Amino acid sequence: MSTVAASGGLTLRGLVKRYGAVQAVAGIDLEIRRGEFLTLLGPSGSGKTTLLMMIAGFQDATEGDILLDGQPITGTPAEKRNFGMVFQGYALFPHMTVADNIGYSLSVRGRPKAEIAGRVAEMLELVQLTGKERRLPSELSGGQQQRVALARALAFSPPVLLLDEPLGALDRKLRVEVQEQLKDLHRRVGTTFIYVTHDQDEALSMSDRVVIMRDGRIEQVGSPEELYTRPRTEFAASFLGKSNFLQRDGRRWSIRPERIDLVAQGLGRVSGRVLSLNYFGPVLKYQIETAEHGPLEVDVDAWRGGPALQPGAQVGLDWKDDAAVPLDE
Amino acid sequence: MTRSSRLNPAWLLVAPLLLLVLVMFGGPLVNILWLSLTDPEPGLGNYAALIEKDSLRKLIWTTLRVCLITTVLSVILGYSIAYAMANVAEATRHRMMLFILISFWISVLVRTFSWIMLLGRNGLLNNGLIEAGLISQPIPFVRNEVGVLIGMVHYMIPYAVLPILAAMQGIDRRVLQASRNLGARPAQTFWRVYLPLTKPGIIAGALLVFILSLGFYVTPAILGGGKVLMVAEYISVQILVTLKWGTAAMLAVVMLASVLALLYILSRFMKLSAALGGGRT
């Protein structure tokens, strides 16, 4: 595809957005690399959508700067930024055909008809919707609409593509499928993707890097693996995956449920009593009461973990040294 | 017994009303149709006069012209007002709506006479202009077609504003953001996205204004000063003064038929319920 971006590195410097006394975004410094898949992850109210809207140019920054490849674009209006965007709910033009939706960005730039038609055909192929060009958005399924929105946003080869919870309206099964397609698309077009979601699974499976946001600030930035294996705060540890928290040597530690092993009674680091177990197919999830650390969650491989323990059973709990991660206060 | 048990009892509740409508509304309508074909003598003479008589042809032309100009002006002005209302803060919008509704509630007679006082030969505007030395003779604003148009457009604007505003408020803001995001200048966003999305509201507003204008009586009669004769006034004269009931009935039938035809043609192009409901989402 001819969409390899020559630019697309973004720098956010001290970005603040205030609504009266409320700070929606409270000072963001971030370097977004050219061509990467970056996810802004956070609960609602964490400022991730406001941040995306500021990058898109729909919200003015109260303070701070946005730079594209070193050039400030903070005051540039949205229509001159040339950033593609996939909106929540897609925001397709309901009165235009699929082809007119996809060709819109070229048509408003006054490109010749033949060029637009060629590009539309190319984009339709990219999102596998060839043959649907004369349909109206209302005649398409949710998944197809989502692909039209993607094609429309990528048609003018933007250096940056912004995605605002684009999978929110799809059902769970379709979502996993579309995640794969999105990742594949990102590899092929080479555009910088900035992806907003509150879904940790999406963040983990698709991103090169994830930014965990909380109360308008960045909680932690890193690759999905880094964030999962070495969370720095209790919030990061519990928002991305599940975690147990221990108090030891005067500080807090995080330990993932699957990093705890069940051993015979009397062995291991601590001993405990099974409170409950839940069967989840590949894993068994135990709640185990310990004297030292209270109730701990333990995930055991359902096939290799031996026979299931019943509530009330006494067990030992063990883990490797690197399984427990120290947290910042 | 079996018959009455099969009848939906809800019909019993509606029946008196249904009967009333049939007798009080359908009856006179049939009577009018009958009159138009029988008075003064049986035949299509009344309808033939529509083509043969110059005065009637002129009457129809005047009515159509005034109604069309009124519709175009009301929709253009109504669109601007609705656009302003759709884009101000909510409190301001409520205040603007109140002003529209107030003018809606004031009797058409009062409004018409107010225009005479404002725009007449000795009206506020002419006197003011003369005293300011800008003109030496009063400008004839009223007692002509301009006066009729001013009065009618003023009365009709709320009917244009309401459906257009509903259509505007139904537009998803993200669709407009998408247009900007894709590189469209504000004017391009308006012509290519905003205006097409408000089309159902425009059509509904235009339809409403045109149909109401067709039957306008008080405003043309007073502000036209007898020089702008429209169908409703003509019918009234035929019934009350010249007693040509056949001609009056014929004109009433023609008017009703044109309104129905208009609605039918429109229904071929769009869902009428959507238009009258003020836009779709």
Is residue B243 helix, strand or coil? coil
Is B271 near chain A, with CB under 8 Å? Answer: no
State the helix-helix crossing angle for A172-189 and A113-126, rounded to 10 degrees. 130
pLDDT at res. A53: 94
- Residue A90: DSSP 8-state: B
pLDDT at res. A5: 47
Is A110 near chain B, with CB under 8 Å? Answer: no
The reply to whether ipTM tops 0.90 is no
Indicate the pLDDT class of residue B274, thresholds 50, 70 and 90: low
Answer yes or no: are the C-beta atoms of B174 and A87 closer than 8 Å. Answer: yes
pTM assigned to the model: 0.82
- Residue B144: DSSP 8-state: S
Q: Do A87 and B174 touch (CB under 8 A)?
A: yes
Q: Is residue B2 predicted with pLDDT exceeding 80? A: no
Phi-psi region of A154 (alpha: psi -120 to 50; beta: other; left: phi over 0): alpha
Task: Set out the domains of chain A in order of their start, with CATH numbers.
Answer: 10-229 (3.40.50.300), 249-326 (2.40.50.140)
Is A84 near chain B, with CB under 8 Å? Answer: yes
Rounded to a whole number, what is the distance in Å from the CA of B177 to chain A's nearest CA?
Answer: 8
Task: Set out the domains of chain B in order of their start, with CATH numbers.
Answer: 1-38 (no CATH), 53-275 (1.10.3720.10)
At residue B162, what is the residue type?
L
pLDDT at res. A6: 56
Cα separations in angstroms, A95 against A106, A310, B192, B194, B206 = 18, 61, 10, 10, 20
pLDDT at res. A280: 87
Cα separations in angstroms, A283 against A304, A324, B128 = 10, 21, 90
Which residue from A minimizes the CA distance to B191?
A108
The two beta strands, A192-197 and A37-41, are parallel
A78 to chain B: which residues are within 8 Å by CB? 177, 180-181
Q: Is residue B226 predicted with pLDDT exceeding 50? A: yes
Q: How many CB atoms lie within 10 A of CB A176?
A: 13
Q: How many CB atoms lie within 10 A of CB A172?
A: 8
Q: What share of chain B is helix, strand, coil (3-state, %, to 5)?
A: 80, 0, 20
pLDDT at res. A25: 92
Is A85 near chain B, with CB under 8 Å? Answer: yes
A84 to chain B: which residues are within 8 Å by CB? 181-182
- Residue A33: DSSP 8-state: -
A81 to chain B: which residues are within 8 Å by CB? 181
pLDDT at res. A264: 87
Calculate mean pLDDT across residues B30-43: 89
Q: How many CB atoms lie within 10 A of CB A18?
A: 14
B residues 24-83 lying closer than 8 A (beta carbon) to A: none
Give the residue ranges of DSSP H helices in B120-217.
124-131, 145-169, 173-181, 186-189, 195-214
Is A152 near chain B, with CB under 8 Å? Answer: yes
Answer yes or no: are the C-beta atoms of A277 and A284 closer than 8 Å. Answer: yes
Is residue B42 helix, strand or coil? coil
Q: What is the mean pLDDT of each run of 10 residues along chain A (329 residues)?
A: 61 92 91 94 91 94 92 91 92 95 96 95 92 94 92 93 88 85 90 93 92 94 94 92 89 93 88 91 91 90 80 91 88
Phi-psi region of B169 (alpha: psi -120 to 50; beta: other; left: phi over 0): alpha
The two beta strands, A37-41 and A209-214, are parallel
pLDDT at res. A214: 93
Indicate the pLDDT class of residue B121, thresholds 50, 70 and 90: confident
Answer yes or no: are the C-beta atoms of B212 and B280 closer than 8 Å. Answer: no
Nearest by Cα to B225 from B123, B146, B129, B171: B146
Return the H-helix or E-strand segment holding B193.
none
Rounded to a whole number, what is the distance in Å from the CA of A159 to chain B's nearest CA?
Answer: 13
Per the structure block, which two tokens stand in for B115? Answer: 């225009």
Query: Long-range pairs for A74-82 at CB < 8 Å and ≥24 separation?
Result: A77/B180, A78/B177, A78/B180, A78/B181, A79/B180, A79/B181, A79/B182, A79/B183, A79/B184, A79/B185, A79/B186, A80/B183, A81/A56, A81/A57, A81/B181, A82/A156, A82/A158, A82/A159, A82/B183
Q: Do A108 and B174 touch (CB under 8 A)?
A: no
Nearest by Cα to B146 from B117, B120, B174: B120
Is residue B255 helix, strand or coil? helix
pLDDT digits (tens, 9 = 90+) for B181-218: 999 999 999 999 999 999 989 998 999 899 999 989 88
Rounded to a whole number, what is the distance in Å from the CA of B189 to chain A's nearest CA?
Answer: 9
Q: Is residue B42 predicted with pLDDT exceeding 50? A: yes
Cα separations in angstroms, B52 against A214, B45, B49, B56, B244 = 82, 10, 5, 8, 17
Nearest by Cα to A181 from A128, A131, A138: A128
